[in-house]
Amino acid sequence: MSPAAITKKTARDESSNKSSKKFPVARLEELTRSERSKIIDPQTIFGLLPMRVYQHIADIGCGPGYFSIPLAKYAFDGKIYAIDVQQEMLDALDERRKEVRLSNLEPILSTESTIPVDDDSLDGAILVNTLHEASRPPDLLKETARMLRKGGWAAIIDWRKEKMEIGPPVAARLARDKAVKAAETAGFRILSVYDMNEWEYIILLSA
């Protein structure tokens, strides 16, 4: 059975009921611009993760594919599930996927609390600047843990809760200790926690 076996229409309907907000073109460009690599470079991040080229990995809160596209190129013998609650983001990602002809990348529409991917079907998952946007971070992480095989890994990368010129307002950020607590509540084992750079922290987890 495919990891996307649950009907996508259900997820699409639920997501549409939850929010009809549409992202402007400027927002999409912000999430894909090359200058973003100065803050968070996918290849640098990949070097910090226990990834293998044959793994099945979810990019949760993928947006228009800033991480999903490079992930699919890296895991060329595996599969990447690009998951987001906004169809506009997935449409933008799918256009980019077709341009680079990636057959191992699957966009999946979800809600925050229900992701249409089978239990115990993934080797890894990344949540990059996603957890602070969740209304209930532990619930999103529990859903992440459900999809992972025993011993699978996950990585939370998010903004440090400090005032700085870039990123979301401080009030909207999720403090590192609260992210750790949410992961523990979801049943994850904490492998490492540290400030990745002057803007963001990383938490490595094991299911």
Provide the residue-wise pLDDT of the chain in tens; the chain has 207 residues.
444 433 333 333 333 333 334 444 445 455 445 455 567 899 999 999 999 999 999 999 999 999 999 999 999 999 999 999 999 999 999 999 999 999 999 999 999 889 999 999 999 999 999 999 999 999 999 999 999 999 999 999 999 999 998 999 999 999 999 999 999 999 999 999 999 999 999 999 999
Say if 115 falls within a structural domain: yes
Can you give the CATH number for the domain in which 158 is found? 3.40.50.150
Q: Which pLDDT score is estimated for 7? A: 32
Angle between helices 25-32 and 87-100 in degrees, nearest 10? 50
Say if 1 falls within a structural domain: no
- Name every residue whose Cβ is closer than 8 Å to that of residue 17 and which is 6 or more positions away in sequence: none
Say if 158 falls within a structural domain: yes
Which residues span the domain enclosing 31? 8-18+25-206
Exposure of 165 in the CB half-sphere (CA atoms within 13 A): 1
Q: Where are the alpha helices (DSSP H) in 33-126?
A: 42-46, 68-74, 87-100
Token pair for residue 99? 């341009």
Q: What is the DSSP secondary-structure string of 125-142?
A: EEEES-GGG-SSHHHHHH
Say if 2 falls within a structural domain: no
Say if 3 falls within a structural domain: no
User: For the chain, what is the domain count?
Assistant: 1
Say if 174 falls within a structural domain: yes
Q: Which pLDDT score is estimated for 113? A: 86
Has this prediction a pTM greater than 0.85?
A: no
